[in-house]
Structure 1
Amino acid sequence: MKQVIIYTDGSSLKNPGSSGWAAILTFNEHKKEISGGYKLSTNNRMEIMAAIMALESLKKPCKISLHTDSRYVIDGITKWITGWRKRDWIDAKKKPVKNKDLWQRLLTATQQHHIDWVHVKAHSGIELNERCDQLAKDAAKRNNLPEDKGYVK
C-alpha cells in the first residue's frame, strides 16, 4: 500500500465569506498541490473540503498521514461522527449536525484508506502547513468562484 503524506488547510477571508481550501499530497519524491474555493462559505467547511478533495484525488487505497491544523476536522471524523450517525445526524445538543453534507462525503472518502489524523499547530513554521495556508488564502481571492451549494446561513 502506498504511503502518502497529506497537508490540508482551509481559509475564509470573512467567516462566512469568500473561502478557499488547499491540500498538498506527497508520495516519495512526488508532490501535488490542489486548491479551490467558493464565493461564500465558512472556514470550517473549507477545512473539511480540503481533506475531502485530497482523499478523493487518490486513485487507489493508501496508508495516509493526514496533517491538519483543524481540531474540528480531526475530532469530527475520529470522535463525533459515530454519535452523529447513531442519532441520525443530530448532535449532542439535539440540533442538526452542521456541515452534514461534507461530513458524509468525508466519511465516504476515508473508507478505502488507512488514515492517521495528525494535528499540527497553525502558523508554527511547518513548511507544508504554511504553504497550504497560502494556497487556501489565494484560492479564496480568485475571481468567479462558484457557489457552495451546501452552505446554509
Structure 2
Amino acid sequence: MKIIKIFTDGACSGNPGIGGWGVVMLENDSIKTINGYEDETTNNRMELKAAIEGIKNSLKDTEIILFTDSKYVKNGITEWIHNWKKSNWTTSKKEPVKNRDLWEEL
C-alpha cells in the first residue's frame, strides 16, 4: 500500500475574518501543494478545511499520515468525534458541536 504524508495548516485574520488553508502532500519523491481561502471564516474552520482537502486529494487505497499543528483537529479526530456522534453532535457541555459540517465531511 502506498503511503502519503499530508502536512496541513490554516490561519485567519480577525477570527472571524479572511482566512486561508494550505496543504503539502508528499508521496515518494512527488510533492503536491494545494491551498484556498474564504472571505469570512475562523482559524479552526481553516485548519479543518486543510485536513479535508488533503485527504480528498489523496489517492484511494493509500495510507495517509496527517501532520497538523492544530490541537483542535488532532483531538477532534482522535478523541472527541466518537462521543459527538453518540451524543447527536453535542459537546460534553450539551452545546452543539461547532463546525459540524466540516467534522462530518472529514
User: Deviations for 1:102-142, whole angstroms, at most 9, x for unmatched residues?
Assistant: 00000xxxxxxxxxxxxxxxxxxxxxxxxxxxxxxxxxxxx
**What is the TM-score with the length of structure 1 in the denominator?**
0.68
Question: Percent same amino acid among aligned pairs?
Answer: 47
Q: Which residue of 1 aligns with 2:45?
A: 45
- Shift of residue 65, structure 1, vs aligned partner: 1.5
> Which structure has the highest strand share of the two?
2
1:68-147 → structure 2 map (5 Å cutoff): 68-106=68-106
Structure 1 stretches of 4+ with a deviation exceeding 3 A read none
Alpha-carbon RMSD across the aligned residues, in angstroms, is 0.7
Aligned counterpart, 2:61: 61
Matches of 2:61 and 2:44, distance apart in 1:
26
Does the 8 Å contact 2:2/2:63 carry over to 1? yes
Equivalent AA in structure 2 for residue 29 of structure 1? D
CA distance in 2, matches of 1:79, 1:88: 15
Unaligned runs of 5+ in 1: 107-153
Confirm or deny: 8 A CA contact 2:12 2:19 kept in the other structure.
yes
More relative contact order, 1 or 2 (CA 8 Å, 6+ apart) = 1
Q: Gapped runs of 5+ residues in structure 2?
A: none
Query: Secondary structure of the residue that 1:95 maps to in structure 2?
Result: coil
